[in-house]
């Protein structure tokens, strides 16, 4: 029996190919899109499939369910008082991460071959790291967002989760008809971005990178903090524009309602400043990728919090410090599952040039192959 905290609706659509579950911010014709919010409990059925869902069906995939999330996709812990919080199958008692919590948990539990999430500020890569699976944020704009909530976003990307790298690659090929064969990776240099993180997280990343025997360079990105702040300002304004009206219902959960109220105060000047940072940090990342085609850093600065501790929103501060900056720039990024010395999940994040999703996946596949051997 499927845990209803993870799968909010069971479906049976499409062919006999790979089984897929989709985050409940993505339209499936004939079914409501509720974004795990009581405020959308009476939402009408979607009139047509999101374009990415149609692409999966055209590729012969079978859609088997819609997954839960952090309400309105506006949170990083995955906690949800209305639908219940998706359990973390591989690391019980730890948060599943958000906002695409149910999609990551469904893959980790073996409920589907791969799943779809959305990533506005780390919402695929964070739950992938928390649940010990692979998660990809494609290049911004590469995968259609038609039929995805919110309708307008300058940060959000639809991306897949999978328990194995080959399934992640297969998922991307099904989602994107323009996906090409993976290129060779011989001689690819990896730029290691220095960051402050839990010692066991840093040790796990360092051990993995040394073991794979790729050429490594140190590659500082001094604009990371400013990019994080700028990304937060933009997501706040864009989420307020999309969801602020739901506060009038009085049905939005307290944590998300408080964030929306705070988001409403984002000034036009803060937004203009954020766009200037976007331009500067994009140029900084592009310059780094000219020197090293792949950048590497942790997905999260610490192990995922315990569910019991995460209701204190301070536990979530900084979770997205290493992921949100690449939503601001639009570069493709993925999280590879590792474990730290405490046998808790660590994510290794790889970043590539815009449009180089195939190269990113090729390097990830080779990295995993070398680690396994």
Judge whether 1 lies within some domain: no
Q: How far apart are CA 28 and CA 2, in angstroms?
A: 19
pLDDT tens-digit series, residues 258-291: 999 999 999 999 999 999 999 999 999 999 999 9
Distances (CA, A) of 266 to 56, 120, 233, 272: 37, 17, 7, 11
Judge whether 12 lies within some domain: yes
Let me know if 123 is a catalytic residue: yes
pLDDT tens-digit series, residues 329-347: 999 999 999 999 999 999 9
Judge whether 227 lies within some domain: yes
Domain that holds residue 145: 7-372
Confidence of residue 44 (pLDDT cuts 50, 70, 90): very high
pLDDT at position 114 is 98
pLDDT at position 314 is 59
- Does the structure show a pLDDT above 80 at 315? no
pLDDT at position 223 is 98
pLDDT at position 330 is 98
Judge whether 158 lies within some domain: yes
The CB density around residue 255, as the number of other CB atoms within 10 Å, is 19
Judge whether 60 lies within some domain: yes
- Beta-strand relationship, 19-23 and 345-352: unpaired
Confidence of residue 4 (pLDDT cuts 50, 70, 90): low
Phi first, then psi: give them for residue 122, nearest 5 degrees.
Answer: 115, 10
pLDDT tens-digit series, residues 78-98: 999 999 999 999 999 999 999
Let me know if 153 is a catalytic residue: no
Written as six digits, the tokens of 353 are 């040039």
Evaluate if pTM is beyond 0.85: yes
- Does the structure show a pLDDT above 90 at 316? no
Judge whether 343 lies within some domain: yes
From 36, 103, 115, 123, active-site residue: 123
pLDDT tens-digit series, residues 49-67: 999 999 999 999 999 999 9
Under the phi-then-psi rule, with left for phi > 0, alpha for psi from -120 to 50, and beta for the rest, what region is 317? beta
Alpha-carbon torsion, ordered 245, 41, 151, 352, to 10 deg: 120
- Does the structure show a pLDDT above 90 at 3? no
At 251, is the secondary structure helix, strand, or coil? Answer: coil
Can you tell me the mean pLDDT for 38-43? 97
Domain count, the chain: 1
55 within 8 A of 177, measured Cβ to Cβ: yes
User: What CATH number does residue 174 fall under?
Assistant: 3.90.1300.10
Let me know if 154 is a catalytic residue: no
- Does the structure show a pLDDT above 50 at 1? no
Buried residues in 57-96 as b, exposed as e (16+ CB within 10 A): bebebbbbbbbbbbbbbbbbbbbbebbbbbbbbbbeebbb
Judge whether 270 lies within some domain: yes
- Does the structure show a pLDDT above 90 at 318? no
Closest CA to 320 of 243, 235, 257, 262: 235
From 99, 101, 103, 335, active-site residue: 99
pLDDT at position 2 is 45
Judge whether 2 lies within some domain: no
């Amino acid at each position: 029996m499927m845990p209803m905290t993870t799968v909010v609706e069971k479906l049976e659509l499409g062919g006999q190919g790979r089984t897929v579950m989709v985050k409940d911010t993505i339209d499936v014709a004939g079914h409501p899109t509720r974004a795990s919010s009581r405020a959308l409990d009476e939402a009408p059925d979607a009139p047509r499939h999101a374009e990415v869902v149609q692409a999966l069906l055209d590729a012969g995939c079978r859609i088997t369910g819609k997954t839960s999330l952090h309400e309105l996709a506006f949170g990083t812990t995955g906690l949800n008082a209305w639908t219940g919080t998706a359990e973390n199958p591989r690391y019980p008692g730890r948060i599943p991460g958000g906002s695409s919590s149910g999609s990551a948990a469904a893959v980790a539990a073996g409920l589907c071959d791969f799943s779809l999430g959305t990533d506005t500020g780390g919402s695929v890569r964070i739950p992938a790291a928390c649940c010990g699976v692979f998660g990809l944020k494609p290049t911004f704009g590469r995968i259609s967002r038609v039929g995805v909530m919110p309708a307008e976003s300058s940060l959000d990307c639809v991306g897949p989760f999978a328990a194995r790298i080959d399934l992640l690659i297969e998922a991307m090929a099904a989602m994107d008809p323009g996906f090409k064969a993976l290129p060779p990776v011989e001689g690819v240099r990896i730029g290691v971005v220095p960051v402050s993180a839990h010692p066991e997280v840093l040790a796990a990343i360092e051990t993995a990178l040394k073991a794979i025997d790729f050429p490594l360079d140190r590659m500082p990105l001094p604009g990371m903090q400013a990019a994080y702040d700028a990304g937060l300002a933009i997501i706040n304004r864009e989420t307020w524009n999309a969801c602020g009206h739901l506060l009038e219902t009085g049905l939005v959960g307290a944590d998300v309602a408080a964030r929306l109220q705070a988001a409403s105060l984002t000034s036009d000047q803060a937004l203009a400043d954020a766009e200037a940072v976007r331009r500067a940090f994009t140029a900084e990342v592009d310059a780094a990728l000219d020197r090293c085609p792949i950048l590497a850093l942790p997905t999260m600065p610490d192990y995922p919090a315990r569910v019991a501790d995460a209701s204190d929103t301070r536990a979530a501060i900084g979770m997205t410090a290493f992921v949100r900056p690449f939503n601001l720039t639009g570069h493709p990024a993925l999280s590879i599952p590792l474990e730290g010395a405490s046998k808790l999940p660590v994510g290794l994040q790889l970043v590539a040039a815009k449009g180089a999703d195939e190269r990113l996946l090729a390097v990830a596949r080779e990295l995993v192959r070398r680690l396994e051997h």
